[in-house]
Homo-oligomer: A and B are copies of this chain.
Amino acid sequence: MDPSLPDGAPTDGPVADVLARNQEFYDAHEARDLERMAAVWEVSDRVVCIHPGWPIMRTYAHVIESWRRILGGPGRLQFILSNVAVAIDGDIAWVTLEENLLGGPVPVVVAATNMFARIDGAWQLVVHHGSPVGH
């Protein structure tokens, strides 16, 4: 089993689907693949992204533009996820976890909240909020 998954996480069903989409978000980031990153997000005006230390960004267009700049920049990060928990209520799921970031000048831990909305059976990211731990 993927060691980043919470203990006892099911291997199929909605929780597994949400965790797979959550992993895809980080895989797209690690791969620096803007097309994959854009495909993770819901295409709507209600999406919100708060990068660590950044102000609030809203709407699909603004959020993806921020990813275009981040993924096109010089940094290259590896994410090791820990302390992952999932909750689902209707067509909304929220995942909270720690992103252990390697690749920068010093290791950094970011606490993240990722909300997904289910539309036509697919979970799309609607909120990503990351905040540095210990700063």
Contact = CB atoms under 8 A, between A and B. Distances in A.
A129 B113 contact: yes
Contact of A53 (B56, B87, B117, B132): B132
Chain multiplicity (copies): 2
B113 A54 contact: no
Contact of A130 (B94, B97, B131): B131
Chief secondary structure at chain A's binding surface? strand
Nearest to A119: B89
A127 B94 contact: yes
Interface residues of A, number: 34
B129 A115 contact: no
A37 interface: no
A55 interface: yes
Interface string A98-135: 10000000000101010101000000001101111111
Given A46-B87, A52-B131, A94-B127, 12 more contacts: A48-B94, A48-B113, A50-B113, A50-B131, A53-B135, A55-B109, A55-B111, A58-B85, A87-B126, A89-B90, A90-B92, A113-B127
